[in-house]
Amino acid sequence: MFNALLSSFSNETEVILDKTIMSKDKVKFISFMSLCMFFVFLITTSLFPIFGQVDMRAFTPKYLLSFGAVILIAFLYNYLYYYSLSHEDVTEVEPLAMTHSIIAVVLATLIYPSERDYLVFMLAIIAATALFISRIEKKHISFDKYALAMLGFATLFAVETLFLKGLLAVYSPVALYCFRTGMLVLLFFIFFRPKIRDLRVRKIKSIFLDAMSVSLQYVTLYFAYSRIGIVRTSLIVTLGPFLIFVFSFIFLKEKIVVKKLLADAVILACVVASVFV
């Protein structure tokens, strides 16, 4: 549970850093995406000697095909995510990105018998739906190409989790994420040829900080997938925006939005109920 919560916190941090670097610092999304992934690879490589473990079965055709599918899916959804976020406000596309939890829960329950705890399934659907409804406004319902790109990201992200579940049987979370990011860095630099020589040192430092957040987010997410499954992880991850909402009220004195407060109460109740199941 702790891994899922930590991943959710890191995700909230990452989204803000992503948008700040691409919009305020005027870093083009291709350059940002490629350099950030390179730093993520360096960070996870440094962790590999301690936490990286790979079963020899990982090199059999079954797992090699699954790994190839993960690389292709991740390549596509990273492009869609950064493309969308670089052109739209966070509040515009965040609700669409959140739909990956609902899609992942449904797909995992349908495909993996081990994920078929129907009470937890219903709790996850209720929590994810409450989160989506509470964060979307009428002005958000404008499905331009950037919104469609974010929906594409959410769908592909959910599909990737199905392959990750199998791969985590033969890779440790750090090993799998390290190999995955290494391949993505190679593909990004081959196909996109990012222009990073013109980036100033301050911008590079910001991107490295973002890469640390990304590394923490995904490594802890993989740990959660491997230990408590996709459905429970997706349910717990929905607590992230709730905790951000609470902290912003306590420390930043932001106004309480009744709709968000009610929805977050539903999410908290669902998570608490799942713990006692």
- Domain presence at residue 127: no
* Residue 176 near residue 60 (C-beta atoms within 8 A): no
For residue 72, pLDDT beyond 60 = yes
Cα(184)–Cα(186) distance, rounded to whole angstroms?
5
Residues 6+ apart with CB under 8 A from 160: 70, 73, 74, 77
- Domain presence at residue 50: yes
Cα(52)–Cα(44) distance, rounded to whole angstroms?
9
Residues 6+ apart with CB under 8 A from 118: 109
Give the model's confidence band at 252: pLDDT under 50 very low, under 70 low, under 90 confident, else very high: very low
Residues 6+ apart with CB under 8 A from 236: 1, 4, 5, 8, 224, 228, 271, 274
- Domain presence at residue 150: yes
pLDDT digit string, tens, across residues 159-195: 999 999 999 999 999 999 999 999 999 999 999 988 8
State percent of the chain over pLDDT 70: 84
- Looking at the 3D structure of the chain, how many domains does it have? 1
- Domain presence at residue 61: yes
- Of 206, 200, 163, 161, the C-alpha closest to 14 is 206
- Domain presence at residue 81: yes
- Domain presence at residue 202: yes
Question: Which whole number is the average pLDDT over 27-35?
Answer: 91
Q: Look at residue 276 in the predicted model and tell me its pLDDT.
A: 67
Domain containing 9: what range? 2-121+139-229
- Domain presence at residue 185: yes
- Domain presence at residue 235: no
List residues bridging with 171 in a β-sheet.
54
